[in-house]
Amino acid sequence: MEPLLTLVAVTGLLLLAGTLGIMRLRRPAAALRGGLAAMFTLTAGAHFVGMREEIVAMVPPALPAPGLLVTLTGIAELACALGLLWQRTARASAAVLSTMLVVMFPANVYAASGDVSWWDELGPRTVIQAVFLTATVTVLIRHRPAAARTPAKPPLNPPAPRPSPGQGRRPRRPVIRTRAREDSS
């Protein structure tokens, strides 16, 4: 539940900052990237501290080395969270995170099969995962780097073409500067 709250709260705050004048956050996709980055930073941290044992227990028994898998997915989530913040890598990070959400869904199904609280049951867990997947796919589709958004505009006053040497110009005479002498009288 905390990751969902983080996604909603951070995205909302960034949208508010955009409406208050922070130009880079005016586009909803930029605010969503920030919300996803905060959420995946939170979930990546849980792979190492606090909830590591619970996450390792979520790995289905058919998969080998659950501790290693949790470590690798935590590193991938953290790297992609950082990648969401850089325009050049935001779409690739969103694609990797979308794929991870789909591939890791069986672990959610396995985790929901035990004695769990209501928000960890399969129904709510599936809805939350669908929200996360929708957010990452939205960034994947809607995010375009700044160069792709703004077409190059011609300058308002283009510079005049320079004439070729010897065309339309008189040769410049050298300027000879002399010092004025003071007459001593």
pLDDT tens, N- to C-terminus, the chain (185 residues): 889 999 999 999 999 998 898 888 888 889 999 999 999 999 999 999 988 988 888 888 888 899 999 999 999 999 999 999 998 999 999 999 999 999 988 887 877 776 655 556 778 888 899 999 999 999 999 877 655 555 556 656 666 666 666 565 666 676 777 666 555 55
Question: What is the identity of the amino acid at 22?
Answer: I
Give me the residue label for tokens 């928000």: 119
Q: What is the CA radius of gyration of the chain?
A: 30
Nearest to 146 by CA among 12, 29, 66: 29
Query: What's the confidence (pLDDT) of residue 143?
Result: 76
Cβ burial, residue 45 (10 Å; 0-12/13-18/19+): middle
Neighbours of 46 (CB within 10 A): 17
Query: What's the confidence (pLDDT) of residue 91?
Result: 94
Query: What's the confidence (pLDDT) of residue 151?
Result: 57
165 three-class SS: coil
The span from the CA of 5 to the CA of 142, in Å, is 22
Provide the whole-model pTM: 0.71
